[in-house]
Amino acid sequence: MNYSPASQSDSTDHRPALVAAYRCASDVADRVRLDQLGGRTPCPEYDVAALVDHLVGAGWRAVALGRGEPPTGEEFPHVELAEASGQLRQASAEAAAAWTDDRLDQTTTMPWGETYRGSTLVDMYLSEIVAHAWDLAAATGQLPSCDEDLAAAALAAAKAMLRPEYRDMMGTGNPFGAEQPVGDGATTLDRFVAFMGRRVDWSSTTAK
């Protein structure tokens, strides 16, 4: 995912929300069935199996960034479904330890050439993990275990960083589609996923 290379991010410390995002994703991954791995997802380029790989890989990349390790543009490795939930739980604990106060102020240049403060990277991966946890839940007929505080933090992070010109930059819906409409009674999680370009009523049976 591509985000604005803002030198300043939202002043809120979203490290606790990042840790909570891993737990949400872990709970969703734990309920995926083997017979669902070939199914469609809201991410046109991923089936369920590929989305699991990407979700776990993004989680570990956030840990590595917290440790100050140089990022690479390598594809994420395959993860067996039986291991996905546990890896996300482990990554949650390691991310909590890696993202120190000092690391929030340090900068990192990402593989696409833009430089970000650590606090911005926390927000970036918070948004990514919550969005893909929702994608995986939607693809497998679940309700994601994402509470109001986590959804609100993810929405704030996404609004701070997502540039309008990145929408549909690599084709329709890739890496982000246009912001989608939501009804008056939309939840905060609905508003977050709609901002990220997802249809809140997405279903694998109606996806094209």
pLDDT score, position 203: 83
Cis amide linkage into residue 164, ω under 30° from 0: no
Residue 107: both structure tokens together? 């900068």
Q: Which pLDDT does position 169 carry in this prediction?
A: 56
Q: Which of 137, 145, 156 is nearest to 198 (CA)?
A: 137
For residue 196, report the phi and psi dihedrals to the nearest 5 degrees: -80, 0
pLDDT score of 206: 65
Q: Backbone phi, then psi, for 71, in 5-degree steps?
A: -75, 150
Predicted pLDDT of residue 66: 97
Domains of the chain with bracketed CATH: 15-195 (1.20.120.450)
The token duo for 14 is: 């979203």
pLDDT at 3: 40
pLDDT of residue 148: 93
pTM: 0.90
Beta strands in 125-186 (DSSP E): none
Ordered per-residue pLDDT tens for the chain, 208 residues: 434 444 444 468 999 999 999 999 999 999 999 999 999 999 888 999 999 999 999 999 999 999 999 888 788 999 999 999 999 999 999 999 999 999 999 999 988 788 989 999 999 999 999 999 999 999 999 987 789 999 999 999 998 877 766 565 555 655 667 888 998 889 999 999 999 889 999 987 766 5
CB crowding 153-189: b at 16 or more within 10 Å, else e: bbbbbbebbbeeebbeeeeebebbbeebebeeeeebb
Helix/strand/coil percent split, the chain, to 5: 50, 5, 40
Q: What is the pLDDT of residue 165?
A: 63
